[in-house]
Chain A
């Protein structure tokens, strides 16, 4: 079954070096043009936007998710299970449906604008939807559960005695958190960040539904190349670059955390 997945990935890699025929078919002739085309400033811009959105989504997910995970980990065991289920249920609900729910809230005739207008606070609807802000909101909203769970797991596995030791030595709660809890739960933060980051760079549903034409990310371009423009070789080249990029970042991330872990261990 794993092979069923590795094999097509290889096919995409091969495809990315082939040519597109006049009618959108694949011509079996070697070329590097697809990769050269990626350096077009247009695509550079989209890659850049995608990375910025992915980084911001990850950062906001940590900021929103960490306190929540911390709170859950301090509850009674049975209450913890209920909270975890509550956090994870939205995650099982369709991405598309969840993004669409925000459209109802944010669009110009949506819940917020209608409400503010009926109160007479605004006369013209605010442009809340179809911008990079709404894309970011949608991303954090749909991906945050990915962050909460790994952080919760590492908080659960943490050795609480070290925290008590810190208190005994006179640390304030903030200091104890900053110097003990946070470093000890770094694995959870890293795992969560990877899950959120990788999911957000490949995401095309949220920008498609909540972003409008101007907020296209790399996922949207790839989707377009495959389904509308029918330029499979170029679409493949884009997805190979996307995948290499995410793998590289994951690798760097792992290396960084591993290095700091060994340092801690020897100290």
Chain B
């Protein structure tokens, strides 16, 4: 009876995994399908990938995505690290208020954040484009960086910093030679996370992108709205593969000699 129940539960859970992954796998599979319109499998082909790389708009969108991703995640990582360090040293009450504000963008519906950004940029009369995209991406990815690094800082404890100060290091030296090296895996994980979020974001970018700053997800949206084409499958597959790789690498860095292996997901 007990094993029967256990088997049923295990079977169900595997079924759920199939439910989660099957659509994604089918999408990937069909990006190699020779047929243009039908779901019938007519043979393996690379041609949709080839036509992607020959498509100037796609390459432009890719460049935009990468530029915005790198710049925004560098800024988000620097600010997020600073914020995590600051919160650790502030009094408990201020830290709580600050933390609450930081988590707000994670909890609030993304559409609201996109709208809020759009309204803000239009009120200060900023032209929509790469700069507004970068600012928006920094805003939504910074909290995630902060959460990762705060976790890392909490693991670390105070002993090593105190020891370094007892040995006569200035606060700056302690930060440079003790704290930062210790939280480095967290910083790298935070950077990768911010980069993934930026590369992948659609909803917020949708509101704050200008006509010349189309990113990959925005380009995919355009294709999807125009109807199903195998190029979308190919482009989506590339986005899926890079997202999964980045998330896994980030997770590896985050877990690196970290005491508690609790996932931040």
Contacts and interface: CB of A to CB of B under 8 A. Distances in A.
A109 B37 contact: yes
Contacts of A5: 101, 104-105, 108, 113, 116, 139
B265 A84 contact: yes
Interface stretch (B66-74, B165-173, B181-189, B216-224): B216-224
B251 to A, nearest CB: 7
A87 B20 contact: yes
Contact of B26 (A6, A71, A93, A105): A105
Which label, helix, strand, loop or mixed, suits the secondary structure of the B interface? helix
Nearest to B99: A2
A92 B244 contact: yes
Contacts of B108: 5, 198, 243
Interface stretch (B6-14, B51-59, B154-162): B6-14
B217 A102 contact: no
Contacts of A149: 263, 265
Interface in A141-159: 141, 144-145, 149
B102 A1 contact: yes
A226 interface: yes
A91 B193 CA distance: 13
A6 B10 CA distance: 45
B26 A111 contact: yes
Contacts of B207: 226-227
Contacts of B206: 223
A67 B12 contact: yes
A235 interface: yes
B131 interface: no
Which label, helix, strand, loop or mixed, suits the secondary structure of the A interface? helix
Interface in A84-99: 84-98
Contacts of A205: 202-203
Contact of B38 (A90, A93, A109): A109
B164 to A, nearest CB: 29
A18 to B, nearest CB: 11
Interface stretch (A7-15, A41-49, A179-187, A253-261): A7-15
Contacts of A248: none
Given A1-B79, A202-B109, A204-B111, A104 B116 contact: no
B112 A95 contact: no
B202 A94 contact: yes
Contacts of B38: 109, 114
Interface in B7-29: 9-10, 12-13, 16-17, 19-21, 23-24, 26-27
A89 B247 contact: yes
Contacts of B27: 97, 100-101, 104
Interface string B66-109: 00000000000001000100000000000000101110110111
A173 interface: yes
Contacts of B83: 1
Nearest to B8: A67
B202 A9 contact: no
Contacts of B63: none
A92 B263 contact: no
Nearest to A69: B13
Given A1-B102, A85-B251, A104-B26, A222 B9 contact: no
A135 interface: no
A136 interface: no
A68 B265 contact: no
Interface in B116-144: 116-120, 123, 139, 142-143
A179 to B, nearest CB: 17
Nearest to A225: B115
A53 interface: no
A246 B217 CA distance: 28
A95 B120 CA distance: 25
Contact of B119 (A8, A115, A204, A242): A8
A265 B16 CA distance: 35
B249 interface: no
Contact of B196 (A71, A92, A100): A92
28 contacts: A1-B83, A2-B100, A2-B101, A6-B104, A8-B116, A11-B119, A11-B123, A12-B116, A15-B119, A67-B9, A67-B13, A81-B263, A84-B265, A85-B248, A85-B265, A86-B17, A100-B224, A100-B236, A104-B233, A111-B26, A114-B38, A145-B20, A198-B107, A198-B108, A199-B109, A205-B202, A223-B111, A236-B115
- Please name the 3 residue pairs, one residue from A and one from B, whose CB atoms are nearest each other, closest first: A202-B109, A2-B101, A8-B116
